Amino acid sequence: MADTGNQDPVFQIQRVYLKDLSLEQPNSPAILLEEERPTVDIRLNVESQPAGDGVYEVAVSATIQTKIKDKTVFLVEAKQAGIFEIRHLPEEQMAPVLGIACPQIVYPYLRGNVADVIQRAGFPPVHLAEINFQAMFEQQQQQQQQPATAQQ
């Protein structure tokens, strides 16, 4: 059926996939015999980019590093992505959709994959906390506006 100029908004998930995953245990096996509890550092990032006409890739990445003193127990880097068809949305709604709605869909897959790979590596799973992507998005927007305001 030919497109008759229908301008209804379109938001569809085309695919969710694991884009990148790495696990390193650089100090094994000696570090595994340590009695001290490791510290855990978790960093998250969201990025989006056009993948075609009305199609966008949105990726949520996580870096999880555990250490005992200054030695790494394990380091996991993971990037979960999704391809989304987004059409006929007002321009002012695009950034929140790409920065809030899409990451909320992708993130549970990332959480599961991270917990799984850590558990398969022989450690208790690290369960990433729920994330308020709206608050994260708003914080990023404020940080982007601050340098522009400081230069004026």
**Full domain range(s) for residue 74:** 10-123
Number of domains in the chain: 1
Cα(20)–Cα(106) distance, integer angstroms: 14
Q: Is the pLDDT of residue 120 over 50?
A: yes
Question: In CATH, what number is assigned to the domain containing residue 94?
Answer: 3.10.420.10
State pLDDT tens for residues 10-59: 999 999 999 999 999 999 999 989 889 999 999 999 999 999 999 999 99
Q: Mean pLDDT over all residues of the chain?
A: 91
Residue reference for tokens 């978790």: 42
Structural domain contains residue 138: no
Percent of the chain with pLDDT over 70: 93
